[in-house]
Every structure is written in C-alpha cells, then in structure tokens.
Amino acid sequence: MFERCDEVKVLRDPIHGYVNIELKVIWDCLNAKEFQRLRRIRQLGGAYMVYHTAEHTRFAHSLGVYEIVRKMVEENRSIRTALSEIDRVTVMLAGLLHDLGHGPYSHSFELISGFQHEEMTVAILCKNSEVHEVMEKAMPGLAEKVAQVIEGTHENPILIQMISGQLDADRMDYLLRDAYFTGTKYGEFDIQRVLRTIRVRDGKLVVKQSGMHSVEDYIMARYHMYWQVYYHPVARCYELLMKAFFQRLRDVAQSDPSVLDRFRPFASLALNETMTIEQHFSMDEPCFNYGLAQFQQAKDPILSDLAYRIVNRHLFGYEDWISQAQQDFCQSRLLSSGYDPRYYLLSDEARQRPYVPYKGDRKSLIYVVTPQEEVQELSEVSEIVSALIRGKSVNDVKLYYPKEILRKKADHEA
Amino acid sequence: MFERCDEVKVLRDPIHGYVNIELKVIWDCLNAKEFQRLRRIRQLGGAYMVYHTAEHTRFAHSLGVYEIVRKMVEENRSIRTALSEIDRVTVMLAGLLHDLGHGPYSHSFELISGFQHEEMTVAILCKNSEVHEVMEKAMPGLAEKVAQVIEGTHENPILIQMISGQLDADRMDYLLRDAYFTGTKYGEFDIQRVLRTIRVRDGKLVVKQSGMHSVEDYIMARYHMYWQVYYHPVARCYELLMKAFFQRLRDVAQSDPSVLDRFRPFASLALNETMTIEQHFSMDEPCFNYGLAQFQQAKDPILSDLAYRIVNRHLFGYEDWISQAQQDFCQSRLLSSGYDPRYYLLSDEARQRPYVPYKGDRKSLIYVVTPQEEVQELSEVSEIVSALIRGKSVNDVKLYYPKEILRKKADHEA
Amino acid sequence: MFERCDEVKVLRDPIHGYVNIELKVIWDCLNAKEFQRLRRIRQLGGAYMVYHTAEHTRFAHSLGVYEIVRKMVEENRSIRTALSEIDRVTVMLAGLLHDLGHGPYSHSFELISGFQHEEMTVAILCKNSEVHEVMEKAMPGLAEKVAQVIEGTHENPILIQMISGQLDADRMDYLLRDAYFTGTKYGEFDIQRVLRTIRVRDGKLVVKQSGMHSVEDYIMARYHMYWQVYYHPVARCYELLMKAFFQRLRDVAQSDPSVLDRFRPFASLALNETMTIEQHFSMDEPCFNYGLAQFQQAKDPILSDLAYRIVNRHLFGYEDWISQAQQDFCQSRLLSSGYDPRYYLLSDEARQRPYVPYKGDRKSLIYVVTPQEEVQELSEVSEIVSALIRGKSVNDVKLYYPKEILRKKADHEA
Amino acid sequence: MFERCDEVKVLRDPIHGYVNIELKVIWDCLNAKEFQRLRRIRQLGGAYMVYHTAEHTRFAHSLGVYEIVRKMVEENRSIRTALSEIDRVTVMLAGLLHDLGHGPYSHSFELISGFQHEEMTVAILCKNSEVHEVMEKAMPGLAEKVAQVIEGTHENPILIQMISGQLDADRMDYLLRDAYFTGTKYGEFDIQRVLRTIRVRDGKLVVKQSGMHSVEDYIMARYHMYWQVYYHPVARCYELLMKAFFQRLRDVAQSDPSVLDRFRPFASLALNETMTIEQHFSMDEPCFNYGLAQFQQAKDPILSDLAYRIVNRHLFGYEDWISQAQQDFCQSRLLSSGYDPRYYLLSDEARQRPYVPYKGDRKSLIYVVTPQEEVQELSEVSEIVSALIRGKSVNDVKLYYPKEILRKKADHEA
C-alpha cells in the first residue's frame, strides 16, 4: 500500500553497517527540515566535554533507532507476522521521529526551559510541519498514530514496547552508538542475537531463553554506561554550569531586561515564556552555543564568567559530597574569595539501579519465554538480574566549585 | 628539563585507545582557549552531509596527531635516540597545534576567505595567544621552534617529515579517524606496524622493507578515502553552495551594504577584509552556522534560498561534466526556470593520483630501507606503487544545479 | 643481566596486536620442543564441537599470557619498580610455560588419566627437558623459581597473583582469546584499562578505583563465558563421551588385554599406569585423535560405536535433569533399545558463581585502592559484585543419551 | 519444494556473525561424516607455523562460503529472481561442499600425492558417500548438479561464477577468514557492499560501479594476503620439508620396503599408488601428523631428522636466490657439513600478479556495470586495476637449508 522508493536508499552507519530505506514516506520524513534539524543536536549533551569524540547527533541516533525497528518488523518473522502493514510503518516512523522535540543539549535544555521533549515531539508531528504533511500525504491519520506510539497511547502495546520499553530500539541504539563514539567498550552487547531471539507472545514482545545472556549483557552495558558516560561528573558539571548561567540571566533580567538584547533568542527562556514550535525549531546547538559565546562580553561579571567557562571549558572541580559541614566550608571559602555561592557552589545527585522490575508500567518490562513456552519476567529467570535488583542502589552526590579554591586537583581521566 | 604533570593524563580515544600526556606544557596547551576552539571545527567539512556520523572535530584529530608523534618519539627507539629532548617536545607540540588556524569547514573557508590556515596557525603560535604564553613559559623560544616545524623551516628535517611528509602523523591520524567516523573500511591500515618499522637513516625517516606492505596499504587507503569521502560529490556540492552564498552576499553588499547587518561577523568576509586573529577566534562553526541560518530571512531571494538550502540540506543534484553543450543546455534550462546560473550552475573538478613521487620536496617522500641497508624511494621498490604512478590520474568534473530541473535523480548512496 | 635477542622478536597476535620478545631465554624457551608441543593441544577442549572456529591452541594462549605479564612488569611503572629483574624474568617465564603439562583436551584428559596438569608442568620444568636446560643456562636455579610461581610457593606473592589470582594474566588472556575465536562478545572487557590501573600496595596487586568498572565487566565476562562456552552442554557431552570411551576400554581390557593392541599409546591410560614425561610428550591431540579413530574398527560394538560418535560428531542429545524418575525412565528406554546405560546414560553438573570472595587463599582475591589510598576487597566496594555474591549459585545438571531415543530434539544453537 | 528444518539453525561465526541454515538437505550434509572430516583439515596448510593463531579449518571456511552464497541467492534481489529454486539450492550446496576432497595441508598434499582435490571432491559427491545419499534423497540428480558447478560444467554460468570466478564466495570468505585468524588487516574489504552491488546482467554476475572501490580493495587485499601469508617463506619452507620427507621415504622404500611398516597409511603415498576414497577419508591431519611423529624414530637418519624438524619446528633458514654461484656455494657447504643436498637444499618460486584479466575463461572475470548500463571488464574501468595489470609481476625465488650453515639469521617476523 505504501509507495516505495525507486531504489532502496542505503546510508552507511558504523553501528548497523547500513541504514536501509525502502518506503517513500520514510525517505521524505528524513528529508524534512524538522528531521534535518537533528543534525544540529548532539546525542550526548555535555559528555563530549569528557569523551572528546562523542560528537554524534540525534540525527544519526534516530536513523539507528529506525533501522533497529525495521529489522524487528521486517526480518524477525514472529514480529512481522504479528503486525499489519500500517502498524509496521507506524512504528518505523515512530522510531525515526521520536526525538524531534529535543532542544540543545537535550536533557539540560529541559532543565533550563521546563518543557518536555516528548510533548514537543508530539506537537511537531501533529501540527503544521513538513513531517506532518509527508505522513498525511502517505495516509491520512498516520501522523496521529505515530504520535500515539510515542505518547504510549497506541492501541497495540507491541509498538509502544519497541520504542519505549526496557529493551526498546531507542536504548539498544544509544548504548551501542554511545559506546562506539566515546570509544568505551562498556556499551557493547550482542544486538544481533537479541533481535533474533525476540518473539511475540500474549500480545507482547518477549525474549527466548537462549537470548537471555545477551539481555543480561545489555543490562550490564546500560549500568556501566550510566556511570562511565552519562553520569560522568565532568558532563554533569557542564550541564550544571549551563543551568547556573540561565539562572543568573533570569536574575539579572529581572532588574535589567536590556541584558537580553545581547542575544534575543534567549529572552523567552530567561522570561520563562512557553516556547513556540518556531522558536524551538530555531533553537539548535549552533544558535545556543553562539548565544552563550556572545555573553562572554556581558557587563555582569558573573554572567560573562559563566559564559566564558562554558565556551572555553574552564569547568569547576568536584568532590564527593560527604557532609553539610564540608558544604559550609566550601561556601565560606567561596565567599572569602569573592564568589557568589548561588552560582559557584553547585551540587547534584546521580542515582542508578541497573534494572527495576516493578517500576512503572508492567508492559515495559523484559520477559523471557522458556523452551516450555512459559513467559516470565526477566528477574525471575536470570540469577544475575535477580541479584542486581536486590542490591542497594548507588547514589553519587557531588559538589562542584571553581578549581582555584579546590584542595585537591580533580582527576581528568576518561 | 620539561616539567611533568602530577600524574599521566589519559584521554580515551577510539582510534588510539588512549591519548597519553605526561608533560605539563602539552597539558596546558590542550587547555588553552585556542586549542579548545578546535572542538568547534569539524574535521571533514561538508562530508557529514553524506556520512551522517562524520561529526568528529579538529580537536580530536589534533590529539590523535599528537599521540602518533608521541609514539614515534618515545616508543620507537631509532627515532627517540636520534632526537634531543627539545626536538621531541617541539614536534609533539607541532603535532598537537598544527591545525589551530583552521576556520569553519576548513578548506571551504579558505576558498571563501582567501586566507591560508597554515599562516593563521603560525600567527597564533607566535602572537599574543594562550598557547604562545604556555610555550614561552615552558621554554623561551619554544613557540618559534614549533612554528618552524609547521612552516617547514625547522633545521631538523625529521621533525618536518613527521608533521608534513607523505607518511606523516597528520595523514595517518586522519585516514584512520575519518574511516572510523564515516564507518567505511577504506581508510584502515596497520599503523602499529608502520610505526614499528620506521627508522632514521641519513637524517631522514625511512621504513624497513618488512613494513612496506603496510605502507602500500596506506597509499591505497588514501586513494580510496579521497574518492569515497573527501571528493564525494555531495560534500563538494555543500561546499560549492557555501561559496555561492558568499559570492551572492558580496554581490548584493556592493549595491546594498545593509544586507550585512543581518549578521555582522560575515561583513569582513563579504568585504574581503583581512581577518584579525580575534575575528578568526570567534569565527567557529556555531557562529558560521548561526549566521547562515539568519540569512534564510534575507530579503534577497537568492541569498535566502541558498541559505535555506545549506541549512536544511536541500542540495543541488549533480552529474558528470561531459561537454560544453551539456553545460549550455543546463544553463538554458535554468534561465527558463528563473534561476540565475551564476549561483545555480556550479562546477568543480577533483583530481587524484595515489602517490606522486616527484612532486614537491624530495624530503617529503617515502623511503624504504632494505635488509641490505640500502635506502630507496618507495616507488622504486614497490611494484604496486610503481604501477600506480605510471597509471593516468583520474579526473572527476561535475556539474551541480537544482534537482528540480535535473533529468535523472541523483543516487544518494554513501 | 639476561641476554637480549639481536632484534626484538615480534609475533602477530589478534588479541594483543603483537607479542614482543626481547630476552633470549624467552625466545629459546619458545623454540624448545615442549613448548612447540602446545601447538598440538587445543585451548578449549571439546568446545570446538559447538563453536566451529574455536580451534586456537595452548601455544597461542601461552604467548598471550606471557605478553600480558610482560606488559605488567615492563609498562606498568608501579609493578616494574616493585620487582627485581630476576623476579620480572621469572614471572614472564611462568606466564609462558604455565600450561606445559596439559594433555589432549586439557581438563577432559585429566578426568581420564587422573593426573593434574600443574604437577606435570612442574615436572617438565625441573627435569631433563629442553626448557629446563634453556633456563638453567640463562641462570642456574631459574627453572626452580619459575616452578615455584606455578606451584604457588614462590616467596614473592605478587608473582603468584599475576599467574593464578582472581585477576591474573591467565584468565585475562583466555577470556579475550576464547571470545575472539568463538566469535562471541561475552568475553570482552577493557584489558588496557585494567592493566593501566593496577598498582602495588601492601605487597600485593590492587586495582585503582577508576578501573573498577572494567574489573566488574571482566567478572561478568567470566560469568557469561562459563555458561555460553565452557559449560555448553554440547562441549560437556563431547568430554563425557571420551570419558565413557576410556571407561569401556578399561572394562574390555580387563577380560581381553589384546584390545589395547589396536593403539598401544592408550594402554597406560587404560591400565591406570602413571604416565611418564616421555609418554606425556607424545600424547598430543593428533596422537589422541588418531588413536580414537583406530577404535572405530574395534570388535567390541560399544567401543567402536563410541569412537565413531566422537570422531564423526554423532553426539548424544541432552535434557535438564529434573528427577530420578526421569533418569529411571531413560534408563529403561535405553535398555529396551539395547543400549548399555553404563556408557549411554551420562550425566554431569555445571555450577558457577561469578566471583567468590571468601574461597581459597585471600591472596588471590581482587583488591581495590580508593583515591584515599584505602585498600578494600572488591565485593566491599562494588555494588555489582556485592549483589552477585549474595545471589544463589546456578546449577545445571544434565542427562545425555543417544538422540534416537530422545523425545525432543536438542537445539543446536551456538 | 525442498524440506525445511523445524527451526532455522544458526551457527555463530566471527566472520559472518551467524551462518543460517534453513534447508534440511544443507543441515544433513553438514552432519555427514565427509563434511565433519573437514574439521580435521586446516585451511592454511603450513601458515600456522608463522601465524600462530591460523588454526582455522576447512570446515569453518566451507560454512562461510555457504553463507556468502546464501546471502547472494536469498538477499540479493537481482540474483534471487534470476535463479530457479533448484539452482539456488545447487549453488548453496556447491559452496558448502566444494572442499570435501582436500587432504592434510591441502595444497602440499597435492604436491606429495599427485592428486587434485577437485577430482576427489567430485568423486565423493557422486559416489557411495553420506553426502551423496543425503542429496539424492532430497532430489534425485542433485549431487550430479552440484558436482557440475564444482567442475565448471553446469549449464548456468552464474552458479559457476559464484563458486570459482575472480570474485567468488570462496575467495571472499578465505580472504576475510584468513585475515581474521592470522590477525592481519590486509585481507579486509567491505564484503557487505560488494554483495549489495552485485547484479545479474547478460547472464553473468557484474558489480555496480558504486561498488567498484570495494572490489579494488578486494583485489589489493588478495595481493597483500598472498605475499604476507600464503607465500610467507616460513610456510613455504614447512611445505618443502614435507615434500622432502616423502621424497626420502620413497627413496628409502625402494631399497628397503620395511621402512613403510612404521606407519602403513603412508605406504600408498610412498609407492605412488592411487588413493581410494576410503584412504582419503582416513588421511586427515591427525593421521598425517601422527604418522610424521612416528618417523622421528626411523633408522634412516635423514628420514628421522626431517620428521623431527617438521614436528618440532626446526625449520630451515632461507635467503633470496640470486645466482647459481650462490646455490653452488650452499651445496658445497652442505656437503662438507655432511648434509645430502637432495633433501637439505630446497628451493621454490612464488609469483603473483594482483589480477590477470586475460587469463583463463572470460567468464571468470570481474565485470562492472555503469549507471548507463554498460558492462565493462574491471580493468577497463578501474584506474587502479588497470595500473596493476600493466605492472610487472613479482617473482620471489628462495633457497632453504639448515640454519646451522646459514650466514645470516633469518628474521622471524610475522
């Protein structure tokens, strides 16, 4: 029913070898300006400040998610036969387009702007956008269906599971991709085997027991990537500095709105105005970074210092948070050195459990089907996962402040 | 003599495993703002428009060149003993800093602005910059020595050969790195073996005959990367479009200088003014891309259309240039469709020979030392290379114009 | 003090890039016939019956262990400075020679013959062998020292830890090597980082906390490799069949000693005689396999059938052992089909915990040193490992018998 | 028409990820004893004496060739639609079974025994063998068709091209496999792209021009693998020694036939008798190696010395053949040292051109189809290949004799 391209389009990709596109609606979405914009949003936020090769974009990631979904619905016989053609196209599009709503530095930008990228994604899909037109032209109502998969309200739970379950195409791609582009090995697992051993049972995706070890490996990969990459203190510091910069911008703008004239696109952020789709479209990383660079010349010394630090990677040092006394000590040192602790003593907490079986929707869990065709939740079958969920979760609270007052040099070791 | 860091600094890198930094002068140069700026310049210019993962930066490449030079001068006994400590530090710094002068999209920017990045590099090294200060503090006169290596005027030809010979650390890193980040295999060769088999003979670097096959592989890798990546027509089109945009900007500005108010940092480019070091420092890719995006709203329809095409990847189609008649035909089609051929009919030529033994300075050639300790130029010993240089060179002339008037759809296949 | 080779010898190795040999005593041991014999002993016993590319030898593995030890004692500054030159050479030789005593199919052969390969290794090192001569010529008493490391009685516990601790060069090499040659990814971990972060503290090897995640990965790699490769039921079946063959050979030989004339080298095995060093030397895998092939023509039908099955891979099927009733049922089915259950109903148990902190010598445990220079046992610091050791161990008991009477086809899936 | 297995059988393979088997006839051939015998024949003959990890077997290679053919006929739409189901099954079987006729050490054995492995393969396929029965049961006449593909007499030239053209599945697998198991990078090329760009035109396989660079890479890979692996002097020496051993065995047996009692399976080889299929079946590498080991105790000193050298890797040294005078000098040195030059002064010649367009059947050449649908022979389109074929071929003639009389130590460097 859906129109095909004249020839299969293939895009070389280091993770999947090639991304294969046969349907015209996919190809046209790829060429829509909202999707091309994802070339201008990095996948990993501030992590490229630690891993200097982690420059890969949401564009590449989105292609990867699409390709995994495509393999699921086309090459896995059990899934292919369980889905209608419309469902198959819907979920491939959902894989491709699920990240349209991201802003610069992804999650950091959500902290700064207060909006959720999922909502923005849905807005773009359903409104007056190029991708919307492309999908509606291919089949009226298609954009709505794709949005439902992303919102988690689609009637077919299998489609939702493929995009946002515990073992979805999104996570599978980003673990492999982030491992490749950081140069770490933690994120590697045998995706080929996982994809081969997925089956549809009782209206949901399950994994054959012969693929369980690969899934355990995936759970561990995820755990390691969180600590080694996503929660790396330098990446967190970079994001805290951006948050502090916008905090300062807001504080200054209250008494002196003209500060916003230096770079008008930041005005709505500083004034907590709701972002329009057009503003969101323009607010990519070149815009964001150019804006930050402009504030290096701001008259307010805190604003210009924070901008300078972000642009030139003069980040704060950090140490484990141990006690309130330690924090008070740092605060007094900062004050005596002339630093305003509101912007110069930052703190955050990272917390991670490798796999949480009871959290959230049961539909998103990982299930295993035994050779006897019994379907069980992963932690009931896997000794490894069972042990991990009984372990206590690890918290990591850190204090960040200018290195100049730091007693011990932070270790730059990726 | 040179101060060491408290602990060896290691940066994870997918190409070399780790980049190792022991000397404080290297570490401090890495943290200087001129070097950090290279995080904001992509390595491959427009090639990321073809290879969607080719987002790696000159920052990462420069670290890689440094690491290869470090392995040469520290781990290769023959080189280590042939050089003084000052020479070793000089050439490691030259490897690290050789690309400081690049502008956005590297070679495209040179076409647009008319300056040479090597000259800018030397200017930055020798003027009032952070890297200059760091080097002079480590040893007065060091910056000058580093500049001489990059200019090719240093008294020790071995240092020059390491940075800009036919088999230098620069090319070795970029072939491997570009292969990794595009996901192609063409650029791979056995660098470990090449580095192991380099020797110093007669005051120059030569390769032992037992490493010759790896060097042949490297020559072929280079040849393939040129055609598959560096000269890919889509990448070339992207760069031609940028050139056309600035051509139009210049043309419009002559009659209406206010067009430059839309983004003042482009003014000096449009007016062919010499760029200052400060302007160069600010002109990174976020700035350049943000500027281009601004011109989508330009009143001049050609200017806004070209900007729109660049930003949203509505590139031109292309075909092999065959005859003047073909070009004339295209021109008339464009005119009848309302396109100004000055900006909408573009053309370029790519030309490549895998290895040219007699071109330029004989010092930059590749030499092989036989088990009998005879030193010979590569093409005299290698049947493969000898055959290649006798082959006629390949020319590739292409015509580019809007797809809409294109008779035959271009093949997007990476 | 120890003589060097004229040139560093380098052997290409897919796991370590190159194996580097500088010392003559190492090179001469490598060329001794007892070491060359290891080319004729596979590393993985029967696993090549499951993973068809797992044909790698103890020769290659031993070179790999040597190379890891060499990197530890030469490239890790903390270890290098903690050891004398004699200790360094001793432990490199111990790494190279630790497996000399293995027989065909390694552990299976121990089951059949009743001897321990470690004892045989020590006997070879200390007796009238080529390796013994080479070492004694290099330094009188050296062979004895090497044997002490392998026996675990050397006065320097660091040397013992490198060869037979929980994180020793032996395991590091075999995990990586077995992963590479089976084509699985389970065994991969970041050895480069582990080797970089090892330190000597309190007279033992410890790992810096910044390398702990790599060690966790290694523990998981080990766990997965056990279940996916080492304990694979097909590999176990192959080894059980060899045990059953020799059981039958013994039983037949008691009434009819002439059965042993078919292949005399099996006589001492069948008669439970102690093996001499000379017999051990000759008993390599070509000999063992040739002998098995000869018994395909034995007059005793059980003996010839078992030999035929082993040679032509007509293995038994298998199923999980559930109950004695199941076993009794199989037994009666076998009897009614004319099979002697003593040789045709086999069973074994595989049991594995990923890391056992309290087992055996505390010296062999893995220790972590925190940035505060506290040394702690791994499971006290790592949440992952702590969770794993609290998990219950996994047992896997299987029944094996001819597929012909099997109700359900065994799944051949590697 | 052909029966399928209950479930797709998958075998993990490091080169292709997985080998996939759906058809019962393939699976049953794999389990036939003639195919299982290939587990006991190494792929690379004596090259494992240089590359210590090159222990991979013809069994693994044959599975790999099958998998490449399967991808061609199932996943490449152009090929799939050009072939009937019977042709597809025929060529997959031909890929799987093409090496059945090999003896120990493959090509060396041909030199010794005088038979051609292709003829033996055809004999096995068409006679009273397990594979023959399996195929005839699946479809009468199938074995004959498979044999025709291997003999090159099948009516459909496409099938022949897939198994024995210049770009056939056989070479593609062995280049990649040999590169992987030696640990060299020379043999790598982008097989995925080659397979994607193959098309059927004018009744033959051709490659799209967009895949031509990958084919050039493949040609170069082949060239390098010949010199670095297949023609490595140490591997050649190992094979020459085996030839010399059998020469001596023949010479001794003429006067003293009892010498053959030491290992009867060598008798027919020594007496130049034609080998029966049964003798060929038994003559695998364990048998061959065990036999050689037995002759270490032969009474004839030359025979026992040659056997000892082969078993314990006391190979000859080697040097380039330069002149007859050099050879005469060696001969006189050998004579004065008591060596018989007939067995102790060996010589051979290796000769290689990367691609020979006019040699042999035009059907086996590589053709390229341009975007304009013109079909041209590779060297007419590729500048690289065109240059290579104009280059003169490289000859390498070597002399081998005992190291003891060698003036210059041979370089063991893989």
Considering chain B, what is the average pLDDT of its residues?
Answer: 91
Q: Are residues C92 and C8 in the same domain?
A: yes
| Closest C-alpha among C13, C133, C29 to residue C71 | C13
Q: Would the pLDDT of C23 be above 90?
A: yes
Q: Are residues D190 and D88 in the same domain?
A: yes
Looking at residue D56, its pLDDT comes to 97
Measured distance CA(D285)–CA(D281) in Å, rounded: 11
Q: What is the mean pLDDT of residues B217-230?
A: 89
A119-141 confidence digits (pLDDT tens):
999 999 998 899 999 999 999 99
Helix H, strand E, coil C: the string for chain D is CCCEEEEEEEEEECCCEEEEEEEHHHHHHHCCHHHHHHHHCECCHHHHHCCCCCCCEHHHHHHHHHHHHHHHHHHCHHHHHHCCHHHHHHHHHHHHHCCCCCCCCCHHHHHHHCCCHHHHHHHHHHCCCHHHHHHHHHCCCHHHHHHHHHHCCCCCHHHHHHHHCCCCHHHHHHHHHHHHHHCCCCCCCCHHHHHHHEEEECCEEEEEHHHHHHHHHHHHHHHHHHHHHHCCHHHHHHHHHHHHHHHHHHHHHHHCHHHHHHCHHHHHHHCCCCCCHHHHHHCCHHHHHHHHHHHHHCCCHHHHHHHHHHHHCCCCEEEECCCHHHHHHHHHHHHHCCCCHHHHCEEEEEEECCCCCCCCCHHHCCEEECCCCCEEEHHHHCHHHHHHHHCCCEEEEEEEECHHHCCCCCCCEC
Q: Using CA coordinates, name the residue in chain B closest to C9.
A: B196
Looking at residue B408, its pLDDT comes to 41
Chain C residues near residue A213 by CB distance under 8 angstroms: 186, 224, 227-228
More confident residue, D408 or C272: C272
Q: Would the pLDDT of B393 be above 80?
A: no
Quickly state the pLDDT bin for D359 (edges 50, 70, 90).
Answer: low
C140 by Cβ neighbours in 10 Å (0-12 / 13-18 / 19+) ranks as: exposed
Q: Are strands D367-369 and D375-377 parallel, antiparallel or unpaired?
A: antiparallel
Q: Using CA coordinates, name the residue in chain A closest to B288.
A: A286
Measured distance CA(D383)–CA(D367) in Å, rounded: 14
Chain B residues near residue D176 by CB distance under 8 angstroms: none
Query: Between chains, do D192 and A18 touch, taking CB under 8 Å as contact?
Result: yes
Q: Are residues A280 and A373 in the same domain?
A: no
Chain C residues near residue B17 by CB distance under 8 angstroms: 192
Considering chain D, what is the average pLDDT of its residues?
Answer: 91
Looking at residue B176, its pLDDT comes to 97
Query: Between chains, do A383 and C371 touch, taking CB under 8 Å as contact?
Result: no
Q: Which chains touch B (3 or more CB pairs under 8 A)?
A: A, C, D
Cα angle vertex C116, ends C113, C120, to 5°?
A: 105
Q: What is the mean pLDDT of residues B88-112?
A: 93
Chain A residues near residue B60 by CB distance under 8 angstroms: 52-53, 55
Nearest-CB residue to A312 (from B13, B36, B56)? B36
Looking at residue C372, its pLDDT comes to 87
Query: Between chains, do C10 and B196 touch, taking CB under 8 Å as contact?
Result: yes
Count of A–C CB contacts within 8 Å? Answer: 69
3-class DSSP state of C10:
strand
pTM of the predicted structure, to 2 decimals: 0.93
Quickly state the pLDDT bin for B148 (edges 50, 70, 90).
Answer: very high
Looking at residue D414, its pLDDT comes to 39
Quickly state the pLDDT bin for D290 (edges 50, 70, 90).
Answer: very high
Q: What is the mean pLDDT of residues B189-203?
A: 94
More confident residue, A113 or B47: B47
Cα angle vertex A328, ends A327, A333, to 5°?
A: 100
Is B411 a member of any domain?
no
Q: Using CA coordinates, name the residue in chain D closest to A16.
A: D192
- What residue numbers bound the domain in which D297 lies? 233-351+396-405
Q: Using CA coordinates, name the residue in chain C closest to B12.
A: C193
Is B414 a member of any domain?
no
**At CB < 8 Å, which residues of chain C contact A?**
184-186, 188-190, 210, 213, 216-217, 220, 223-224, 227-228, 354, 371, 383-384, 386-388, 390-394, 411, 413
3-class DSSP state of A37:
helix
Q: Would the pLDDT of A414 be above 60?
A: no
Q: Are residues D245 and D322 in the same domain?
A: yes
Chain B residues near residue D185 by CB distance under 8 angstroms: 188-190, 217
Query: Between chains, do B186 and D224 touch, taking CB under 8 Å as contact?
Result: no
C81–chain D nearest CA distance, Å: 30
Looking at residue D112, its pLDDT comes to 86
A214-232 confidence digits (pLDDT tens):
999 999 889 889 888 999 9
Looking at residue D412, its pLDDT comes to 38
Is C339 a member of any domain?
yes
Nearest-CB residue to D192 (from A17, A192, A196)? A17
Quickly state the pLDDT bin for B371 (edges 50, 70, 90).
Answer: confident
Lowest mean pLDDT among B51-60, B389-398, C231-240, D276-285: B389-398
**What is the per-residue DSSP string for A252-276?**
HHHH-GGGGGG-GGGHHHHTTPPPP
Count of B–C CB contacts within 8 Å? Answer: 8
Q: Which chains touch C (3 or more CB pairs under 8 A)?
A: A, B, D
B259 by Cβ neighbours in 10 Å (0-12 / 13-18 / 19+) ranks as: buried
> Could you give the percent of chain B with pLDDT greater than 70?
95
B15-43 confidence digits (pLDDT tens):
999 999 999 999 999 999 999 999 999 99
Measured distance CA(A405)–CA(A235) in Å, rounded: 20
Q: Are residues A310 and A268 in the same domain?
A: yes
Q: Would the pLDDT of B273 be above 90?
A: no
Measured distance CA(C64)–CA(B90) in Å, rounded: 37
Query: Between chains, do D9 and C413 touch, taking CB under 8 Å as contact?
Result: yes
Query: Between chains, do C293 and D312 touch, taking CB under 8 Å as contact?
Result: no
Looking at residue B152, its pLDDT comes to 95
Give which of D16, D41, D53 to mutate to test C binding, by max C Cβ within 10 Å.
Answer: D53
Nearest-CB residue to B390 (from D224, D227, D387)? D387
Q: What is the mean pLDDT of residues C76-92?
A: 97
Count of A–B CB contacts within 8 Å? Answer: 103
Chain D residues near residue B223 by CB distance under 8 angstroms: 384
Is C372 a member of any domain?
no
> Could you give the percent of chain C with pLDDT greater than 90?
75
Q: Are residues B54 and B155 in the same domain?
A: yes
Looking at residue D360, its pLDDT comes to 53
Chain C residues near residue D56 by CB distance under 8 angstroms: 53, 55
Q: What is the mean pLDDT of residues D153-171?
A: 95
CATH number at residue B68: 1.10.3210.10
What Cα–Cα distance (Å) separates residue C215 from each residue in A181, C164, C192?
A: 22, 16, 11
Measured distance CA(B161)–CA(B73) in Å, rounded: 13
Chain D residues near residue B186 by CB distance under 8 angstroms: 190, 213, 217
A52-67 confidence digits (pLDDT tens):
999 999 999 999 999 9
Looking at residue D356, its pLDDT comes to 64
Looking at residue C357, its pLDDT comes to 63
Q: Output phi, psi for B139, to 5 deg.
A: -170, 115
Q: Are residues B131 and B268 in the same domain?
A: no
Q: Would the pLDDT of B209 be above 70?
A: yes
Chain C residues near residue A184 by CB distance under 8 angstroms: 190
Q: Using CA coordinates, name the residue in chain C closest to A392.
A: C383
A293-309 confidence digits (pLDDT tens):
999 999 999 999 999 99
Is B159 a member of any domain?
yes
Quickly state the pLDDT bin for C45 (edges 50, 70, 90).
Answer: confident
Quickly state the pLDDT bin for C394 (edges 50, 70, 90).
Answer: confident
Looking at residue C362, its pLDDT comes to 64
Q: Are residues C224 and C260 in the same domain?
A: no
Is B134 a member of any domain?
yes
Q: Would the pLDDT of B116 be above 90?
A: no
Q: Are residues D10 and D121 in the same domain?
A: yes
Quickly state the pLDDT bin for A106 (edges 50, 70, 90).
Answer: confident
Looking at residue A410, its pLDDT comes to 39
Q: Are residues D107 and D253 in the same domain?
A: no
Q: Which helix (H) or strand (E) holds B31?
A: helix B24-31
Asked whether the beta carbons of D95 and D218 are under 8 A apart, the reply is no
Is D410 a member of any domain?
no
Query: Between chains, do D7 and C183 touch, taking CB under 8 Å as contact?
Result: no
Q: Which chains touch D (3 or more CB pairs under 8 A)?
A: A, B, C
Give which of A4, A193, A213 to mutate to test D binding, by max D Cβ within 10 Å.
Answer: A193
Q: Would the pLDDT of A408 be above 50?
A: no
Q: Are residues D214 and D290 in the same domain?
A: no
Looking at residue C70, its pLDDT comes to 98
Q: Would the pLDDT of C25 be above 90?
A: yes
Quickly state the pLDDT bin for B162 (edges 50, 70, 90).
Answer: very high
Measured distance CA(C389)–CA(C367) in Å, rounded: 15
Q: Using CA coordinates, name the residue in chain C closest to A410.
A: C371
Chain D residues near residue C52 by CB distance under 8 angstroms: 11, 13, 39, 57, 59-60, 63
Q: Sign of dihedral through CA atoms B58, B63, B69, B71?
A: negative
Looking at residue B412, its pLDDT comes to 38
Is A62 a member of any domain?
yes
Chain A residues near residue C188 by CB distance under 8 angstroms: 185, 188
Question: Of C182, C204, C231, which marks where a domain is finished?
Answer: C231
C209-261 confidence digits (pLDDT tens):
989 989 999 998 898 898 889 999 999 999 999 999 999 999 999 999 999 99
Give per-residue burial for C195-231: e unless 16+ CB within 10 Å, then b.
Answer: bbbbbbbeebbbbbbbbbbbbbbbbbbbbbbbbbbbb
Q: Would the pLDDT of C20 be above 60?
A: yes
**What is the per-residue DSSP string for C130-173?**
HHHHHHHHHSTTHHHHHHHHHHT--S-HHHHHHHHSTT-HHHHH
Asked whether the beta carbons of C150 and C55 are under 8 A apart, the reply is no
Q: Using CA coordinates, name the residue in chain D closest to A17.
A: D192
Q: What is the mean pLDDT of residues D152-173?
A: 95
CATH number at residue B250: 1.20.1250.30
Query: Between chains, do B7 and A52 touch, taking CB under 8 Å as contact?
Result: no
Query: Between chains, do D52 and C63 touch, taking CB under 8 Å as contact?
Result: yes
Q: How many domains does chain B have?
A: 2
Quickly state the pLDDT bin for D354 (edges 50, 70, 90).
Answer: low
In DSSP terms, D11 is beta-bridged to D19
Quickly state the pLDDT bin for B357 (edges 50, 70, 90).
Answer: low
Q: Using CA coordinates, name the residue in chain D closest to A75.
A: D75
Query: Between chains, do A196 and D17 touch, taking CB under 8 Å as contact?
Result: no
Q: Which of A160-174, B350-364, C266-280, D221-235 has the highest mean predicted lDDT (pLDDT)?
A: A160-174
Chain C residues near residue D55 by CB distance under 8 angstroms: 55-57, 60
Q: Are residues D282 and D215 in the same domain?
A: no
Q: Using CA coordinates, name the residue in chain C closest to B11.
A: C193
Lowest mean pLDDT among A159-173, A348-362, C155-169, D343-357: A348-362
Query: Between chains, do A10 and D196 touch, taking CB under 8 Å as contact?
Result: yes
> Could you give the percent of chain C with pLDDT greater than 70?
95
Lowest mean pLDDT among B306-315, B373-382, C31-40: B373-382
Asked whether the beta carbons of A104 and A38 are under 8 A apart, the reply is no
Query: Between chains, do B188 and D185 touch, taking CB under 8 Å as contact?
Result: yes
